[in-house]
Amino acid sequence: MAPVHPRSRTRNRLTARPSSLLAGLLLGLTASAASAQSDLERPVITAQSIDDLFGGPPPPAPEKPKPDTATPTPAPAVPEMPAPGAAQAESGSPTLSGFYQNDLAYTYSGDEHWSRFNNTLDVSGQGRTTGGMGWKLGGRVYYDPIYDLTDHYPDAVRDDQRFEAMIREAYVDLGAGDWEFRLGRQHIVWGEMVGLFFADVVSAKDLRQLVLPDFDMIRIPQWAARAEYFSGEFHAEAVWIPYMTYDDIGKPGAEFYPFTPSAVPGVQTVIAKEEKPHGIDDSAYGVRLSWIQNGWDVSGFYYTANDPSASFSRQISPTMITYQPIHDRIHQLGATLGKDLGPMVLKAEAVYTRDRLFHTTDLLDADGLVRQDFLDYIVGLEWSFPQETRFNVQFFQRWFPDHDAGIVPDETESSMSLLFSTRALHPRLEPELFLIRSLDRNDWSGQFKVSWRMDDNWRLAAGVDIFEGPADGLFGTFDERDRVYTEVRYSF
């Protein structure tokens, strides 16, 4: 059976009727937006058009200069990782940027409860010295008062997710001819598909909210040394991570904790403290090579590290079953592909992983884990239409060449995803629908969100996340975590 967590404190529980919850959240979101833009007094204005409600269209973006064909095209930009020598730092004057974001969520399925009221402040500065050395230093602070206002979660979850402060990026950039070096805590992004992680094997991830937030909220930087070499259309990259950062899965009892073992009558079930090995023997390293030829952007890489994802080792005694999250070494070979095909863009990624540990249902297995090699691959096509309308479809598979019958996944697991977003209703208003579904079983998730960009600084959103499937499915395990939510972000 699952462990029972004592609660040493009594707090007031927030309650709400689910039938009126979404309307209340949307009303509160609109009120927050209005107060953020208004003075203490304003005249009453009657809305005559959709522009009166959401504001006029944003000013057109300045035309981007055409790249020099003799310079290799850089990898797709990532908001938290500007390329070395970014334009805003070339002047030598330090710049300051960041954002504040509030996330409010109510879980309406199963045991109804308020599940999130998180406040995030992210601030970073960057610049360049007179000697040409670039630098960036940034941090992030989280505070979620939901753990002070309710007693729904165990104390271990409260202590883990109530407050957190961390260094995000802290690095220096050095250049020497065709070589560039980055030393310190940094983002290293080797691949990016829509809403999913495949070739992005170096990044650690904050999975305490599953993969529901934006990627800039999920990715966790690594302490690393990186060297890059540029020559024409060729790009080489080598990374060494002496001190690993692992995926953050939270504590047992959290909203999206990834492992819930089946209860055994008469036997206590315990999840022990996570084992996160650090040391020179546990360092990670890898090499990535990229080419651009006739519009085809191709890369290949090798990477080895202690698995950032946790596996749960099992120990059995007559009165207790103990599971411990552990991280063992894996080896990965991967490739990415991108090509503009005119009316659509093709992207594909593939990763072959060796020696990952999987939970087995075989009760006679000593530690409940078996080593498996497997191939993950994904192929995606995206179409862009007028009025910033976007449609993306992705097909992905996992194949075990030497499948162990005791693990939950089948020998071949097939899934697909669909994304649709548009600003056809209004240039500042963007509804978005993202669906992921298994093709082998009735296991799926749906995310619907409406974003309103008030101006260049303010973004507001409201949405719903739904999970359906069997108890041992990727999404079915969170079948009682369906939620409605709002987001408010101010960027500066």
pLDDT for the residue 472: 85
**How is residue 235 written in tokens?**
């790009």
Return the amino acid letter for 388: E
Between CA 325 and CA 369 the distance in angstroms is: 11
Give pLDDT tens digits for 377-388: 999 999 999 999
- Cβ-based burial of 20 (10 A; exposed 0-12, middle 13-18, buried ≥19): exposed
For 354-384, letters b (16+ CB in 10 Å) and e give eebbbbbeeeeeebbbbebbbebbbbbbeee
Give pLDDT tens digits for 48-79: 455 555 565 555 544 444 434 333 344 444 34
- Give the residue ranges of the chain where pLDDT is below 50: 1-48, 61-90
pLDDT for the residue 63: 47
**How is residue 139 written in tokens?**
């941090």
- Determine phi and psi for 386, rounding to 5 degrees: -60, 160
pLDDT for the residue 196: 95
Q: Which domains does the chain carry?
A: 87-491 (2.40.160.10)
8: left (phi over 0), alpha (psi -120 to 50) or beta: alpha
How crowded is the C-beta side of 457, counted as CA atoms within 13 Å? 9
Answer whether 284's CB lies under 8 Å from 241's CB: yes
pLDDT for the residue 76: 41
pLDDT for the residue 42: 42
pLDDT for the residue 93: 86
pLDDT for the residue 55: 60
Neighbours of 132 (CB within 10 A): 12
Residue 316's contacts (CB-CB under 8 Å, 6 or more residues apart) are: none
